[in-house]
Structure 1
Amino acid sequence: MAIPLTVIGQEIVRYCGTSTFAVGILGGVLNTLEFFSLRTFRESSCAFYLTIMAFSNIGCLGFSFSPLIMVALINIDVSNTSLFYCKFRRCMSQAFLGISMTCLCLATIDQYFATCAYPRWQRLCNIKLAHRLVIITALIWILHGIPYLMYFNLVLSSTTNTTTCTSTSSTFNYYRNYIFTIGIIGYLPIVIAGLFSLLAYRNIQQLAYRIVPLIRRDLDKQLTTMVLMQVLVCVFTLTPYTTINAVVTSINLTNDPITQMKLQLVLNITLVMYYLYFASPFYLYLCVSERFRRQFIHVLSKIFINFCKRPTIRVNQVIPEP
């Protein structure tokens, strides 16, 4: 029974994980391209948060998910052979994860303020403040990665005689397993984003009764719909892995090998679901927002037209006189 469960878990990561990674990278690039191409999005603080989140999602897939896929495909983990990559990968993974989750929370809070009836709160939604908050967020998560550079090392196992990239500090391990993974990037962003997205949804229902410019009302509805659906995906994709990871971390189940195999299978399934969150935003926006689809077609058309209008260099030949 152990062999089929192990094979099933590897096949799930190999095929589903590879597909998720490929479409996620493509979607992240297209998402970033559209947000940067349209002036409407460039001037919106909420769209700026979504842009940084899209860029961070690419980093999450690249630094966190791709090594797991490599192990499933060819059974090679570079972080177990290179000390630099061992430290660098862990540091960058937590930074991109933290920035992505923080930007999701900032986007939902921004939409709540943008749809409020009080002008004082609406003034908090400006692009300059968004730039500052993103810079502060990036600095905080970069500094947060310093312990990863300090404590992660290549450790030789006395039983298997193999080296693994792991933390050598028990205190830091406790913080990373319980506070950071389960709390800071687990349940905390789900609660914050869920709360403010519901408040923003309530506000958006009242926009029709306020004197609001039509363009701004449409943009607020579009962004609120996109953010709200993103939060729903966040709840359904991040909660299972966070919960299973908390159970596995908190309870010692190493005595029963069959239970271990079952839990590992569940972990593999929920792990792919977890990274599906980082791969899905672009396709989610296409599905839930007709305006986003029109904008995407406009961006692609503009890129195609500019590509076709590229200037060609003509070589002028001078024919000598006879």
Structure 2
Amino acid sequence: MATQSIFQYICQQVVIYVGLFLFIAGLISGLLTLLVFLSLRTFRQKSCAFYLTIMSLVNTFHLFTGLFTYIMINGFGINWLNMSLFYCKFRPFYVQLCTLISFSCMCLATIDQFFATCSYIRWQRLSNIKLARYLLIVVALAAILHGIPSIFSYGHISSPTTSENNCIIMNTAFRKYYYYFYVPVLQSTLPISIMILFGILAYRNVQQIAFRTIPLVRRELDKQLTTMVLVQIFYDAIVVTPSVFINIIMTIYGSTSNSLLAAQLNSISVLGIILYYFHYAGSFYIYVSVSKRFRQQFLYVLSTIHVTQCCRLTINNNQIQTETS
């Protein structure tokens, strides 16, 4: 029992401190990424940057409903899912929606960079902002339709011992689909595989891009975005892949009657989920670390904002002095 309590205490502390760190760092990452991508016309006209912008936006919103709720439940023992039937149904739908859109955007960004750096003109034309917007609409609609069954599958069931409501999956078929296909395939294996495949192809194209007659500005932008995407893929593979193995372990041994083993498995599951949420919090730090040009663009945006604010203050002060005189 003492060992089991130690495991539970460690998990709780990891969720509170690492989870809150991820939550704050993720919000900063998402906001700064959006600031750079939306401020510069170079990125606004590039389809790959468009996908990364939407991914950052979705990741930022996902942190509130996904990670913050997880911290409250497993860190502070405040379970909003059990308190509200609406939230019990809404959160799984919203989390699935954000997860699918986030990983789809990352996959599309990788595929887009493959087309953008391809030597065939016909394939290069597939990398355009108009097509990117249509594809995003299709992805969003598909994610919404995919999440609708979860609204009807989750519900409250009263505990026979405490008489408290527990938010669980009521539908057996959906439970099997969720644990045997959605979590190991759609949430991890499939998107990571697509990203790695097209990431390798895009890297091969970039290695040959110096020998093509391409404008220097476009060449440098393609190199920059490809580097950012490739490092993001490597990062995602590290933080997401463990969740596949943890899901397999939990599926096999999750119903054990051994309390110590159950505590150990719960610890592994908690660490895996916290590690998984690094995907939603690291984009900006990756881009700043691997791309000198992105660092320069970020500093340029900050300096532009600072100059704009100074100009506004000067104008306001001049207006005040004019009125008083």
User: What TM bracket, shorter-length normalisation?
Assistant: over 0.9
Q: 8 Å contact 1:46–1:111 — kept in the other structure?
A: yes
Q: 8 Å contact 1:153–1:168 — kept in the other structure?
A: yes
Structure-1 residue corresponding to 2:137:
135
Amino acid at match of 2:14: I
Q: TM-score normalised to the size of structure 2?
A: 0.94
Amino acid at match of 1:274: Y
Q: 8 Å contact 1:30–1:282 — kept in the other structure?
A: yes
Is 210-219 or 259-268 further displaced after alignment?
Answer: 259-268
- Inter-partner Cα distance in structure 2 for 1:146 and 1:269: 29
- Inter-partner Cα distance in structure 1 for 2:155 and 2:199: 40
- Inter-partner Cα distance in structure 1 for 2:14 and 2:75: 11
Superposition deviation, residue 73 in structure 1: 3.9
Cα RMSD (Å) of the superposition?
1.4
Superposed counterparts of 1:20-169, under 5 Å: 20-169=22-171
Per-residue Cα deviation, 1:151-177 (whole angstroms, up to 9, x for no partner): 211221223422121221001111111
Give structure 2 stretches of 5+ with no counterpart. Answer: none
Q: 8 Å contact 1:253–1:259 — kept in the other structure?
A: no
Greater share of helix:
2
Amino acid at match of 1:254: T
- Taking structure 1 as reference, are residues 29 and 183 closer, same or farther at Cα in structure 2, changes over 3 Å only? same
Superposition deviation, residue 61 in structure 1: 1.3
Amino acid at match of 1:182: P
- Inter-partner Cα distance in structure 2 for 1:254 and 1:159: 20
Superposed counterparts of 1:197-216, under 5 Å: 197-216=199-218
Amino acid at match of 1:125: S
Are 2:305 and 1:303 aligned?
Answer: yes
Are 2:9 and 1:2 aligned?
Answer: no
Match of 1:249 among 248, 251, 268: 251
Per-residue Cα deviation, 1:245-294 (whole angstroms, up to 9, x for no partner): 12212445512222111111111222111001110010010000000000
- Inter-partner Cα distance in structure 2 for 1:252 and 1:77: 21
Are 2:256 and 1:261 aligned?
Answer: no
Are 2:183 and 1:181 aligned?
Answer: yes
- Inter-partner Cα distance in structure 1 for 2:51 and 2:65: 21
Q: 8 Å contact 1:114–1:125 — kept in the other structure?
A: yes
| Partner secondary structure for residue 316 of structure 1 | helix
Are 2:318 and 1:316 aligned?
Answer: no
Is 252-261 or 27-36 further displaced after alignment?
Answer: 252-261
- Inter-partner Cα distance in structure 1 for 2:219 and 2:167: 50
Q: 8 Å contact 1:65–1:275 — kept in the other structure?
A: yes
- Inter-partner Cα distance in structure 1 for 2:263 and 2:58: 32
Amino acid at match of 1:79: L
Q: TM-score normalised to the size of structure 1?
A: 0.95
Q: 8 Å contact 1:59–1:93 — kept in the other structure?
A: no
- Inter-partner Cα distance in structure 1 for 2:243 and 2:187: 12
- Inter-partner Cα distance in structure 1 for 2:287 and 2:254: 41
Q: 8 Å contact 1:34–1:296 — kept in the other structure?
A: yes
- Inter-partner Cα distance in structure 1 for 2:126 and 2:308: 37
